[in-house]
């Protein structure tokens, strides 16, 4: 099953957000434009709009996450929805209840939207394929498959700093093999028209035939980031690695860590991004992470607006009613 089979309802409206695969440029731009309108909400004294008043959103996280869960919670509350965070470790799931039984019981409590994060790929699809028509699902990261809202907030951040996408040179650096973020980033950036999209990693951390995704693979960091406008550093996901894919953490940093000297190879106004959490001294030097070209904290702020936009598009009224 592909995302396009169940992501849209019969009227063509976005029902779930499970992947960016199959989403049109128009739909992605609609999300980014809507997110732009929500940025100012966070700057108000009262950081709320009544768009989703009366709706119930449940954060169903089977995998720990600070930034993603918190920004989804804040996003839902800023839209005036009732937001519940389920402590899965203390739930019936830990007592042997199946995932679908857990979801069905939560549905019975009149949940409108599930935000699902799970260590196994495909769980968000499983939930979405078993909920009734009035219930919606957002994938907040499933295994090494997809993380659509992270990629959307990355695209939103790039657009705020660089405007048009078609002339950009973008390098994604790091653990491509295990990264759900990178897969979604490639999908959104190619759909938005980035013509020079590079992936940079040791050969052991590059997926086979990665060039078929419309990217240029590099195994040399210097060549991969030379002259780029945007560098996206990825977290080295050692918890997902089986076997010795890198000789050591120090050797990885020596060859692929982003330092001020290496950043100088990119364009002078290049921006540096990271989906977090950051491993300082492994993927990125502190001087770069905290430097003037870093937009890492802006990504976190922008994530609230983007997740508000996705929730509003799925649960909210029409565009005309929203703008009014």
Describe the strand order of the beta sheet including 113-118 as a list of residue ranges.
82-87, 56-61, 113-118, 136-142
The residue-averaged pLDDT of 88-98 equals 62
The residue-averaged pLDDT of 187-216 equals 94
The CATH number corresponding to 3-145+301-323 among 2.40.110.10, 3.30.1300.10, 3.40.350.10, 3.40.50.1370 equals 3.40.50.1370
Catalytic positions, please?
A: 67-68, 95, 117, 147
What is the pLDDT at residue 323?
40
The 3-state DSSP class for residue 60 equals strand
Structure token digits, residue 306: 């983007």
- Which range is least confidently modeled, 116-120, 238-242, 270-274? 238-242
How many other C-beta atoms lie within 10 A of the C-beta of residue 191? 21
Same fold, 3-145+301-323 and 148-299: yes
- Which range is least confidently modeled, 52-61, 81-90, 262-271, 289-298? 81-90
What are the structural domain ranges in the chain?
3-145+301-323, 148-299
Q: What pLDDT, in 10s, does the model give residues 148-161? A: 999 999 999 999 99
pTM of the model: 0.92
**Residue linked to tokens 């993603």:** 68
What is the pLDDT at residue 238?
53
The residue-averaged pLDDT of 288-303 equals 97
The answer to whether 285 and 257 have CB atoms below 8 angstroms apart is yes
The answer to whether 165 and 188 have CB atoms below 8 angstroms apart is no
Rounded CA separation 53/81 (Å):
5
Confidence band for 247, pLDDT divided at 50, 70 and 90: low
Judged against a pLDDT cut of 80, whether residue 84 lies above it is answered with: yes
The residue-averaged pLDDT of 111-121 equals 94
Q: Which residues of 44-53 are buried (b: 16+ CB within 10 A; e: fewer)?
A: eeeeebebbe
The residue-averaged pLDDT of 109-123 equals 94
Judged against a pLDDT cut of 50, whether residue 3 lies above it is answered with: no
For the chain, give the mean pLDDT.
90
Judged against a pLDDT cut of 50, whether residue 197 lies above it is answered with: yes
Judged against a pLDDT cut of 80, whether residue 202 lies above it is answered with: yes
The residue-averaged pLDDT of 262-274 equals 98
Confidence band for 320, pLDDT divided at 50, 70 and 90: very low
CA distances from 168 to 264, 267, 271 (A): 17, 11, 12
What is the pLDDT at residue 245?
59
Rounded CA separation 114/109 (Å):
12
Please give the CATH topology (third level) of the domain spanning 148-299: Rossmann fold (3.40.50)
The residue-averaged pLDDT of 60-68 equals 88
**Residue linked to tokens 């720990």:** 64
């Amino acid at each position: 099953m592909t995302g396009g089979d169940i992501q849209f309802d019969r009227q063509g409206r976005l029902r779930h957000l499970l992947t960016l695969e199959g989403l049109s440029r128009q739909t992605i731009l609609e999300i980014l434009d809507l997110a732009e309108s929500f940025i100012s909400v966070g700057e108000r004294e009262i950081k709320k709009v009544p768009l989703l008043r009366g709706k119930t959103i449940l954060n169903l996280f089977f995998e720990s996450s600070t930034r993603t869960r918190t920004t989804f919670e804040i996003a839902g509350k800023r839209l005036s929805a009732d937001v519940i965070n389920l402590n899965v470790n203390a739930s019936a799931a830990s007592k042997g209840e199946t995932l679908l039984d857990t979801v069905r019981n939560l549905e019975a409590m009149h949940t409108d939207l599930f935000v699902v994060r799970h260590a196994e790929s495909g769980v968000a699809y499983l939930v979405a394929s078993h909920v009734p028509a009035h219930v919606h699902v957002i994938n907040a990261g499933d295994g090494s498959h997809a993380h659509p809202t992270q990629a959307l907030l990355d695209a939103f951040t790039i657009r705020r700093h660089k405007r048009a996408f078609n002339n950009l040179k973008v390098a994604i650096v790091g653990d491509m093999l295990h990264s759900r973020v990178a897969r979604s980033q490639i999908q959104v950036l190619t759909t938005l028209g980035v013509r020079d999209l590079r992936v940079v990693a040791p050969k052991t951390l590059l997926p086979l035939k990665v060039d078929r995704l419309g990217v240029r693979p590099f195994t040399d960091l210097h060549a991969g980031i030379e002259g780029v406008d945007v560098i996206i550093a990825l977290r080295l996901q050692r918890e997902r690695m089986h076997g010795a894919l890198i000789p050591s953490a120090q050797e990885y940093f020596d060859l692929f860590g982003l330092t001020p000297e290496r950043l100088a190879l990119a364009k002078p106004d290049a921006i540096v991004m990271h989906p977090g959490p950051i491993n300082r001294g492994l993927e990125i030097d502190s001087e770069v992470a905290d430097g003037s070209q870093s937009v890492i904290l802006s990504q976190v702020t922008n994530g609230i607006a983007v997740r508000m936009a996705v929730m509003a598009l799925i649960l909210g009224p029409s565009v005309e009613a929203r703008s009014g």
